[in-house]
């Protein structure tokens, strides 16, 4: 028969065991919370590290692109020659013999300009060729080019996911493509979500390298940009807008007329109009038995 003392001792013992159990449970909860906090802190540090690495990588690519534009023209020319020498050393022909073009840029615009925004016709294969006048990039997996030819422009949207090259080859190749290069593109037609008519290349080849640095168009105020767009549709009788020209130096334009015609759309349209007038006058006089002679 248990006495009062034994009963009290048992109650104290039970209370002590209960307290130890409660403290052990609290300690486990506290330890679990500390582990969760440590894991969260480590995860945040990893994310910060990845973001810093990505920022540094994009900054390096941006700096490389800026170096091309800010480089001395002589150094730029030497770098391009080194690139060609490297290609020859790797048994690659920097000037391919032939590229089949399925249609001109004008025909491409007329045929596919009616596509709706975001529409792609991946079952169709088209081959275009022209000169790269503008280059932009969004990381190492997406490059945008403005392809010019015959007075028309088509955007080239080079996406790694649609290319025949792997990631390293894709990035290396497109980093070597410069403004002024004449290229051949084979891909499918489509429009971007913003409605820009584009060609999405599966294969991309440089047909002729531009060895010299081309003048770059500098974006001005909105009013200047509006005037620049108007010059794209210049017609006889319209005023000239030399302030919108990419190549502005008059002596350079006269001495290097090929560069003037290449860069300034309005000048090219004026010369085309002049040529048509001369052809018409010549045909008019030929039909009336006039003889064209050149006198001293």
CATH number of the domain enclosing 161 = 2.40.50.140
> Is 16 a member of any domain?
no
In which domain, by residue range, is 119 found?
73-208
The rounded distance, in Å, linking the Cα atoms of 73 and 68 is 9
> Is 226 a member of any domain?
no
State how many domains the chain has. Answer: 2
- 77 plus 203 within the same structural domain: yes
Q: What is the pLDDT of residue 184?
A: 95
- 87 plus 161 within the same structural domain: yes
Last residue of a domain, one of 208, 232, 256: 208
- 159 plus 282 within the same structural domain: no
The strand pair at 197-208 and 152-159 is best described as parallel
pTM of the prediction? 0.68
Phi, psi torsion values for 161, nearest 5 degrees: -65, -20
> Is 83 a member of any domain?
yes
- 204 plus 77 within the same structural domain: yes
Q: Exposure of 2 by Cβ count < 10 A (0-12 exposed, 13-18 middle, 19+ buried)?
A: exposed
Which among 247, 211, 216 is positioned nearest to 135, based on CA atoms?
216
> Is 225 a member of any domain?
no
Instruction: List the pLDDT tens digit at each of the 296 positions of the chain.
Output: 555 555 555 554 554 545 455 556 677 777 788 888 888 888 888 887 777 655 554 554 454 455 566 778 889 999 999 999 998 998 888 898 889 999 999 999 999 999 999 899 999 999 999 999 999 988 888 999 999 998 899 999 999 988 888 888 898 899 999 999 999 999 999 999 999 999 999 999 999 999 998 887 654 444 344 444 444 567 887 888 888 888 898 999 999 999 999 999 899 999 999 999 999 999 999 999 999 999 88
Q: What is the pLDDT of residue 228?
A: 42
């Amino acid at each position: 028969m248990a006495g009062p003392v034994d009963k009290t001792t048992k109650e104290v013992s039970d209370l002590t065991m209960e307290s130890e159990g409660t403290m052990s449970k609290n300690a486990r909860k506290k330890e679990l919370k500390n582990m969760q906090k440590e894991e969260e802190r480590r995860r945040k540090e990893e994310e910060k590290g990845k973001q810093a690495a990505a920022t540094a990588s994009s900054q390096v690519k941006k700096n490389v692109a800026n170096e091309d534009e800010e480089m001395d023209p002589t150094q730029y020319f030497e770098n391009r020659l080194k690139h060609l020498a490297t290609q020859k050393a790797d048994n690659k022909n920097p000037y391919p013999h032939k590229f089949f073009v399925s249609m001109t840029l004008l025909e491409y615009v007329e045929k596919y300009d009616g596509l709706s925004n975001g529409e792609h016709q991946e079952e169709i294969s088209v081959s275009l060729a022209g000169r790269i006048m503008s280059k932009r990039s969004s990381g190492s997996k997406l490059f945008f080019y403005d392809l010019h030819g015959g007075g028309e422009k088509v955007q080239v949207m080079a996406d790694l996911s649609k290319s025949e090259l792997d990631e390293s080859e894709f990035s290396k190749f497109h980093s070597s493509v410069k403004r002024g290069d004449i290229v051949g593109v084979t891909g499918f037609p489509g429009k971007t979500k913003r409605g820009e008519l584009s060609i999405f290349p599966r294969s991309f080849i440089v047909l002729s390298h531009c060895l010299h640095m081309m003048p770059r168009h500098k974006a001005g105020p909105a009013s200047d940009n509006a005037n620049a767009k108007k010059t794209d549709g210049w017609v006889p009788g319209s005023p000239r807008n030399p302030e919108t020209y990419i190549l502005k130096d008059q002596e350079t334009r006269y001495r290097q007329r090929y560069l003037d015609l290449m860069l300034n759309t309005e000048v090219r349209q004026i010369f085309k109009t002049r040529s048509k007038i001369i052809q018409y006058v010549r045909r008019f006089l030929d039909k009336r038995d006039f003889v064209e002679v050149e006198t001293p």
